[in-house]
Structure 1
Amino acid sequence: MIEVVDTYGVRSLHFGTYPKQSAMSLAEPDRLELSYVRAMLAGLLFKPEPRNILLLGLGGGSLAKFLLNHFPECRIDAVECRSAVATVAYEYFGLPEDARLAVHVSEGNDFVCAEAERREAEYDHIFVDVFDHQGLAETVNQQDFFSATRRLLHSEGILAINLWGTQTQSLRQSMSLLNLYFDRRTMRLQVPGRGNVIGFGFGQRAQRTEMGELKQQAKALELRLDIEFPRFLRLLSYSGWR
């Protein structure tokens, strides 16, 4: 079931349950309403000018819309398993028709496995936000999914995956797979006041950066994008990286 609900000036997308799959302020439709979506952009601290982006899980299209608005040189492949969700994103959430955005109707796991077989690593940012009405989609929490996304990621690129912290076993499995396939070049961010945990995996040529070195970058990005990057920087921690 796909539901669009307007409450107190916020339009939200639901899949038949209470949790919001996407949300948009009706007064500020281009702003990222949900804090976990903003937190997924913490990878911009390390690679601030995304060009080739893979977005797994379109939802209402808020992240795709934000990236198109703020990064005119970027190109986005967005993968959504239900065509009806993509239709809702265009009709109710203002996702623009843009030549830089290609929407693929496919299961995320099927898409990345097929793409990893036929082309070289290309994406400098991969965002994974693939949930169903129960939680993280089971097809994501698999070895072949993490292996394929790793092969599709540029050697200096970053993967960000939205995880649900209250699902302890699923979270542990996801972080274990992330550490395995990204050779422990990983970080995590507990989203303040939410159950979301954002996991980050870095390409093979990425170098560990001390947090203090990123403070100026965080301040500059906050001014540019109106996102609380200094706060996210304080909450980032190296998960497996030594």
Structure 2
Amino acid sequence: MSRAALRIMLTLILISISLYTLQLYNRPKLLHSQDSAFGALLVFEENGERCMNFESMHDLGRQSCIRLANPKQLVFAYTRMMMSALYLNPHPKSILIIGLGGATLANALADIVPNAIIDSVEIEPAVANVAEQYFYYQPGPRQRLFIDDGRRYVEQAKQQGLQYDMVMLDAFDVDYIPVHLMSVEFLQQVKSILSPDGILIANTFTDSTLYQQESATYAHVFGQFFNVELDNRVIIAVNGTLPNLSTLVHNATALAPQLTPIGINLEESLSLFTLSNVPNDDVPLLRDLTAPR
């Protein structure tokens, strides 16, 4: 064999070894598996990220992810979109999050709004356990955790006369948002625990078959709201009057030093805000008795 042919062969071997090594590096590494009501809850690392998901490490619809090199930076666009609700109220004193996941929102809010009380409601104890063990969530006097169904918690909060400046809905089952957390009746209950000018933020899908019905349902309860859309749609509604654009810009500018390090770009995030269209009267509302099962 000539020297040239030998060099080519060695080069090909090195390339093969490098590709194999890269493939091994990119393969998800399972850290934890735990039974839950929604199937096996998995925690794994891949491409410098630690993620939580049900059943599969290869599903793109992951529940939560953090970057190992910078855990405070928000990985998912929808979490950045939900955090931009602070443009409406930069200083909420009380926040309710329904759907803990990996506590991405709860941890980010604890850093940016240090004087707020943040109550998180999670129906699945396994998720809460994983959030504490693997995603830096630390319940305490300011970060209060309740293992409960989100709707039941809201009903009890209403009975107790509790009020929140901000309520975030980020609860999903295997398929989509649980139907009892989408109805007119539920949103009316949420509105009843919002302080005057309190804000409701809901994570939904842009490609949901219920898109128009969700719009009509939120409009029925809150009137016009903000759509913040990219891959997901985040609905931002107010128990009062929506602020104007100049207010959003003013608040966003003031928050930029805190939000930029976690991956929120001021101009980009503001550009995603649009006013909802008034839905047609013939669009059926989502109600407790008619919500699709």
Provide the residue aligned with 1:199 in structure 2: 235
CA contact (8 A) 1:39 1:232 kept: yes
Q: CA deviation at 1:142?
A: 1.7
Provide the residue aligned with 2:285 in structure 1: none
Aligned length in residues? 233
Matched, 1:159 2:203: no
Structure 2 residue corresponding to 1:172, chosen from 197, 212, 226 = 212
CA contact (8 A) 1:75 1:101 kept: yes
Letter of the structure 2 residue corresponding to residue 219 of structure 1: T
Residue correspondence of structure 1 range 62-211 to structure 2 within 5 A: 62-120=104-162, 122-169=163-210, 171-182=211-222, 184-191=223-230, 194=231, 196-204=232-240, 206-209=241-244, 211=245
Root mean square deviation of aligned Cα = 1.6
Alignment identity in percent? 27
Larger deviation, residues 65-74 vs 211-220: 211-220
CA distance in 1, matches of 2:52, 2:67: 12
Provide the residue aligned with 1:28 in structure 2: 70
Change beyond 3 A, Cα 1:213–1:104:
closer
Q: CA deviation at 1:235?
A: 1.5
Letter of the structure 2 residue corresponding to residue 178 of structure 1: Y
CA distance in 1, matches of 2:243, 2:91: 18
Provide the residue aligned with 1:220 in structure 2: 254
Larger deviation, residues 226-235 vs 142-151: 226-235
Letter of the structure 2 residue corresponding to residue 177 of structure 1: T
Q: CA deviation at 1:217?
A: 2.8
Secondary structure at the aligned position of 2:181 is classed as coil
Letter of the structure 2 residue corresponding to residue 235 of structure 1: L
Q: CA deviation at 1:9?
A: 0.6
Q: CA deviation at 1:190?
A: 0.6
Secondary structure at the aligned position of 1:114 is classed as helix
CA contact (8 A) 1:113 1:144 kept: no
Secondary structure at the aligned position of 1:146 is classed as helix
Secondary structure at the aligned position of 2:234 is classed as strand
Secondary structure at the aligned position of 2:71 is classed as coil
CA distance in 2, matches of 1:98, 1:118: 21
Q: CA deviation at 1:24?
A: 0.6
CA distance in 1, matches of 2:184, 2:200: 15
Provide the residue aligned with 1:58 in structure 2: 100
Structure 2 residue corresponding to 1:15, chosen from 35, 54, 59 = 54
Letter of the structure 1 residue corresponding to residue 219 of structure 2: N
CA distance in 2, matches of 1:61, 1:217: 24
Secondary structure at the aligned position of 2:177 is classed as coil
Q: CA deviation at 1:37?
A: 0.4
Q: CA deviation at 1:67?
A: 1.0
Cα displacement string for residues 50-90 of structure 1 (whole angstroms, at most 9, x for unaligned residues):
21000000000011011112221010110000111000000
Cα displacement string for residues 154-196 of structure 1 (whole angstroms, at most 9, x for unaligned residues):
1111110000111122x222222211111x13111112xx2x1
CA contact (8 A) 2:87 2:249 kept: no
CA distance in 2, matches of 1:46, 1:29: 26
Task: Note the residue ranges of structure 1 that are not aligned, 5 or more in a row.
Answer: none
Change beyond 3 A, Cα 1:59–1:16:
same
CA contact (8 A) 1:16 1:133 kept: no
CA distance in 2, matches of 1:157, 1:27: 35
